[in-house]
Structure 1
């Protein structure tokens, strides 16, 4: 295997492609997972082409579908990434994983369990947690310690979801049966949302549709893991239900279809929270509504 020292963007790009090694991943999703622009993704793919070719790794590009890495030995792809990692990216990767691990449990997690999950020492874990605390502080989240039990991230569900969105962690896989950010689920979720919006004469731009789909997918992901919005975060709807009547109807219809599809228990708080999101994106016109032909963000 030819040696190479990857930069953090290249590592992020290769990691994303490996996570989706059994399916195509779109340019938009690659850009979101790597926290960069679509043009930068194309440039990085070009810069990696010679290296991939020399190691008999095929980068397959399919119009309307995206990209896929292909190699007869899947472990070989991961070995390449590990060989090219640098310390700075390793820490970023670990802190991202720590945030997700601690965000998807309501109980305390022992330090020894975190060390085992990340294959690091106690001193390195402390260094990573210091960075984690700084990153989550701006979302009003804190790390809570309990002697003999471990640590957990403390804060509201709304702020945890905000952190996942703003830190671009939603494309990373968590340990559960369904990955809500694979291409098939993204595409089908987009279709369901567009059908409901069109039926309710709700006009929406492409960009806002992307944001709405991400909001819904994160909500499904969190609800599937039994993390629900608390009543305290949606007081505006409780106190002004008449003002949100149309949005509540749309939100209920979206979740009724999706939660039935994925066997997820829905509650009133989640419907109201989505209604708040819809209210902020409201843009009605009598003549023009979205069409089913609108491209979803996974194929543009």
Structure 2
């Protein structure tokens, strides 16, 4: 940490006095540290007769990132490849601007060549969620795709991180939504269920809660979804749309946000997806009234 704090090289004699050990011990420790951070995003430079200093990938910006990480007692640096890939996916899903490979290398203490491989793996995950990775020389990388697909991807990412979804425990989601009261959303859903013909199961309840939290967060960032007119008209005919509209009204009141018309459809989709189709006599006409001819034709093909 001392090497991070200083702008000048530090001698082994100074470090030995500071730490209460011999200069020889300092030299041996530095030697081990050099090996430990080999191929990482920083390097310990030794200048004979001058001292030691750290060289960072990303310059002073990289130094600031590492200091911030070291100051956070709860932060655990991802070390395994799959952990780094998850970190990169999360950074991309929540970024509003380009992210450089140098930034990622600095955050994860790895070389740029390692980051390139990790980013390729992250891109495979994004492609499975109908999203693409846009690369721009001298700017970096960012996600490209529809707002709807991005929200579903964020939801899947959260669910993959939290295997145990319970109806009243929202603690596992709180880190993602620090500026949003998940308890308020939970109470809004509980109240809305009184107007439904069925009760949401635990997983469906948690999924809806996550999706609403994502919607609020994205709307605050001026990111909204658009819904094709034919889907909009079909959804408006369902009972779930009335419930969704009630949820929207409560969200606007409790969170002081303006939710565009498409957001009610977004919630309706989740309510319909959670609806238990137990009636064995459910006919094609009933299904058509809910999802419309367009989707039925796609399924038939």
Question: Scaled by the length of structure 2, what TM-score is found?
Answer: 0.55
C-alpha contact 2:235 2:268 (8 A) present in aligned 1? no
Give runs of aligned pairs for residues 160-199 of structure 1, distance below 5 A. Answer: 160-167=150-157, 168=160, 171=173, 173=175, 178=179, 180=180, 185-198=181-194
Query: What CA deviation, in whole Å up to 9, does each residue of 1:266-291 have, x standing for no partner?
Result: 11111111112222333599xxxxxx
Q: CA deviation at 1:230?
A: 3.0
C-alpha contact 1:111 1:150 (8 A) present in aligned 2? yes
Q: Take 1:142 and 1:218, find their aligned partners in 2: how far apart are those partners?
A: 20
- Structure 1 residues 93 and 272, CA gap change in structure 2 (3 angstroms): same
- Structure 1 residues 158 and 242, CA gap change in structure 2 (3 angstroms): closer
Per the alignment, in what secondary structure is the counterpart of residue 220 of structure 1? helix
Q: Take 1:236 and 1:279, find their aligned partners in 2: how far apart are those partners?
A: 17
Per the alignment, in what secondary structure is the counterpart of residue 153 of structure 1? strand
Q: Take 1:135 and 1:276, find their aligned partners in 2: how far apart are those partners?
A: 24
C-alpha contact 2:105 2:111 (8 A) present in aligned 1? yes
C-alpha contact 2:134 2:144 (8 A) present in aligned 1? yes
Q: 2:208 aligns with which of 188, 212, 216?
A: 212
- Structure 1 residues 223 and 118, CA gap change in structure 2 (3 angstroms): farther
- Provide the aligned C-alpha RMSD in A: 3.2
Structure whose alpha-carbon radius of gyration is higher: 2
User: Which residue matches 1:19?
Assistant: none
Aligned residues: 196
State the structure with bigger RCO (CA 8 A, min sep 6), 1 or 2. Answer: 1
Q: Take 2:227 and 2:190, find their aligned partners in 1: how far apart are those partners?
A: 27
Unaligned runs of 5+ in 2: 1-70, 163-172, 279-301
- Structure 1 residues 106 and 78, CA gap change in structure 2 (3 angstroms): closer
Query: What CA deviation, in whole Å up to 9, does each residue of 1:189-226 have, x standing for no partner?
Result: 2111111220x244213323233222222322332333
Unaligned runs of 5+ in 1: 1-74, 286-300
